[in-house]
A and B are shown apart, each in its own frame.
Chain A
Amino acid sequence: MRSVRLLPALVLLAAVPVLGAELTGTVQLAGKPVQNAVVWLDAANAPGPVQTGRIVLDQRNLMFSPHVLVVRVGSIVDFPNNDRVFHNVFSFRDGKKFDLGMYPKGTSKRIVFDKPGLARVFCNIHPNMAAYVLAVESPYFAVSDDRGTFNITGVPAGTYTYHAWRAGGGQPLTGSVTVDGNQPFEIHW
């Protein structure tokens, strides 16, 4: 009986074509890997949902996690307070501007990032809390890990304009890249 139920799923899985290629690469600054750099490809009219799951910028142990979050424009980001104290999350400078006020542990508030740009997120109580939320008009983006590597999946093969951003004041980079799933892509500041 179980195999009968699984059969349609297996048939469906086999029929799904490969949706796109991968763009894999590294981000470096002066020869050293850059963590938390954001790389994205221009594709404002790309199909697909704005977001496929819950996106969270957590507050725990007096810090935001992750430190850098990238979302597609229109995404809803949850800001749960999982700390023992109150926080006052705000972003006034660029990108999406908001002030969440205070809310206690175990509760959450959410923001729709409905315009592209970089939101610098702070806590008005704790001076060492900071994070970035970058909203981009593309579903093709990634954040580099501690080895500086990134991986953008599901990209239709072709040539794109890419952008790269990193925290710390470096100028964003822009250029052209061909996505064919073969060549690793290196970005150097």
Chain B
Amino acid sequence: MVKPLHVIAALLVVTFVCVPARAQTTVSAEVDVTAGLSGEDIRAVASQLRLFGQAPAGIQFFTETAWGDRWAGDAPLLGQSVSGMDPMGSDVFGAAYPYRGKTQLIEAFGERYFRPSGSLLGVRAGRFRMPFGIYTRSDYGYSGFVRPPLIRYDGYFGISNNWLEDGVMFTGGVPQLFVEASVSRPHDVGYAVRQTGTDASFRVQGYRGQFILGASYARSNPYLSRRFAVGRQAFGGFDARWSHPAGIQARGEFLKGHSYEGVKTNGFYIDGLVHREGMGPFTLFTRAEWLDYTAPSPRAREAKRLTLGTRVRLPGPVTLQLNYLRQRGDLPHLKAHTIDFSATYSLRLDHVVH
């Protein structure tokens, strides 16, 4: 039996190969090594290797492999027995990558963009993050926040930055207004692993002046066991970014939906980032967020968190991240007030194939 994804993959191969090449071939390698320490008595070490560049026929490719592990002192393992929950009961250092003590392929895709008559058309095939809200690795891996938003972590009944898709994604429109849509199967790398099935997502993005606005909808399968979680997972959301030439940015996401039938999840986060002339290597930021999970008692959860932090780009390839958090609510957390610190060494090599 020929599966739809196989047909799409074959069409993509034909599309990629039959279009004449123009750009030169480049390969870049980027290695990050991060070490972190949290006031919740958790330590972490992680590394990522990225290979990306421009292949023949104008195809851009991107692959990322990651390894990470964490160690807790005397802290309890709050989520150990809960399906999909981080066993340490803390999302610290989980902004963009899982910490499962093993090497994992995170993203691996090829993509090709076309610009006929000023429009924007693109196709991506491989493993990628679902186009929903603010979703790219860049948005979370470099910002300086050590933790992910509450609406984007394993086991919090929202969506997760550790959720990946094997499939295809299409982009169409003009740069000021375009649509991204994907059809895929889940390939999750964190603790919350969704049931297999067909996933679909749709996002529209508009850009005007200093504003970038997006609206998203995604359907997938629950990450909890079918014994508890029946039906499909479905989320809708809005995202926005605003940036001012004076070095001030704001961004945020609002999410609403359900991770299975009979429950509801609402949540949002708003980030503010300041990097102005005179601040040198310092970027200051803050995040306010809220997550509400409505379910039959006693499973309902609510959590709030405020983060203040700074990111320091030292001369050379070292970046420091310092976060202060005030958090409260029913989701697992070890301390109401805590400080997270991490340091990242980053190295990049570029090669042009003549």
Which residues of A are in contact with B by a Cβ distance under 8 Å?
A: 60-63, 82, 84-86, 88, 90, 92, 97-107, 124-128
Would you call B38 an interface residue if the criterion is a C-beta within 8 Å of the partner chain's C-beta atoms?
no
Asked if A103 meets B207 with Cβ closer than 8 Å, knowing A124-B283, A126-B138, A128-B348, the reply is yes
In angstroms, Cα B110 to Cα A110, docked, is: 29
Contact present for A90 and B275 (CB under 8 Å): yes
B231 proximal to A (CB < 8 A)? no
Residues on the B chain within 8 Å of A97, using CB = 277
Question: Which residues of B does A touch, CB under 8 Å?
Answer: 26, 28, 30, 52-54, 60, 62, 111, 113, 115, 120, 136, 138-139, 142-143, 174-176, 178, 205, 207, 210, 212, 241, 243-247, 249, 275-279, 283, 313, 317, 319, 346, 348, 350
Q: Which one, B60, B275, B283, B317, contacts A128 given CB within 8 A?
A: B317
Closest A residue to B174 by beta carbon equals A106
A125 to B52, CA, bound (A): 17
Q: Shortest CB–CB separation between residue B131 and chain A, in angstroms?
A: 11
**Bound complex: CA of A103 vs CA of B242, how far in Å?**
10
With A84-B136, A99-B247, A101-B245 as given contacts, are A125 and B142 in contact (CB-CB < 8 Å)? yes
Q: Are the CB atoms of A105 and B175 closer together than 8 Å?
A: yes
When chains A and B are docked, how far (Å) is the Cα of A128 from the Cα of B30? Answer: 9
Contacts of B139 in A (CB 8 A): 85-86
Say yes or no: B28 contacts A61, CB within 8 Å: yes
A63-B350, A125-B138, A127-B319 in contact; A84/B111 too (CB < 8 A)? yes
Shortest B52–chain A CB gap in Å is: 6
> Once bound together, how far apart are the Cα atoms of A90 and B249, in whole Å?
13
Q: Summarize B's interface: helix, strand, loop or mixed.
A: strand
**CB closest chain-A residue, reference B344:** A127
Contact of B138 among A85, A90, A107 (CB under 8 A): A85
CB–CB A125/B143 < 8 A: yes
Interface CB pairs A-B, < 8 A, 13: A85-B138, A90-B247, A90-B275, A92-B276, A92-B278, A98-B245, A99-B245, A99-B276, A101-B243, A105-B113, A127-B319, A127-B346, A128-B30
The 9 closest A-B pairs by CB, nearest first: A106-B175, A101-B243, A128-B348, A85-B138, A92-B277, A107-B175, A106-B120, A102-B243, A99-B247
CB distance from B320 to the nearest CB of A (A): 11
A114 CB → nearest B CB, Å: 16
Name the residue among B53, B176, B277 with the largest chain A CB count within 10 angstroms. B277
The 8 Å CB contact of A127, one of B62, B278, B279, B313, is B313
**With the chains together, A106 CA to B339 CA distance in Å?**
39
Name the B residues within 8 Å of A101 (CB-CB). 210, 243-245, 249
Contacts of A103 in B (CB 8 A): 207, 212
A61–B55 Cα distance when bound, in Å, is: 11
Contacting residues, chain A, for B249 (C-beta < 8 A): 88, 101-102
Query: Given A99-B246, A107-B176, does the pair A61, B120 have CB atoms closer than 8 Å?
Result: no
Q: Which residue in chain B gives the minimum CB-CB distance to A82? A: B113
Q: How far is the CA of A107 from the CA of B244 in the complex (A)?
A: 17
Chain A nearest CB: distance from B176 CB in Å? Answer: 7
* Contacts A104-B205, A106-B175 given; does A61 touch B60 at CB 8 Å: yes
Question: Does B115 contact A106, Cβ atoms closer than 8 Å?
Answer: yes
Assembled-state Cα–Cα distance A60/B143 (Å): 20
Identify B212's interface contact among A82, A85, A102, A106, CB under 8 A: A102
Contacts of A63 in B (CB 8 A): 28, 350
What is the distance, in angstroms, from B332's C-beta to the closest C-beta of chain A? Answer: 30
The closest CB in chain A to the CB of B349 belongs to: A128
Q: Give A107 to B177 CA distance when docked, in angstroms.
A: 11
CA distance A63 to B244 in the complex (A): 23
Give Cα A88–Cα B346 distance, bound, in whole angstroms.
19
In the docked arrangement, what's the CA distance between A126 and B142, Å?
A: 7
When the two chains form their complex, are residues A127 and B207 in contact, meaning their CB atoms are under 8 A apart? no
| Residue on A nearest B283 in the bound complex, by CB | A124
In Å, the complex CA distance between A118 and B113 comes to 33
Q: Which residues of chain A are near B241, meaning CB under 8 Å?
A: 86, 102
**Complex Cα spacing A102 to B26, Å:** 25
With the chains together, A125 CA to B60 CA distance in Å?
20
Further pairs besides A90-B247, A90-B275, A92-B279: 10, Cβ < 8 Å: A84-B62, A84-B136, A99-B277, A101-B249, A102-B243, A103-B212, A105-B120, A106-B178, A126-B138, A127-B317
- Chain A nearest CB, measured from B172 CB (Å): 12
B-side contacts of A102, CB under 8 Å: 212, 241, 243, 249
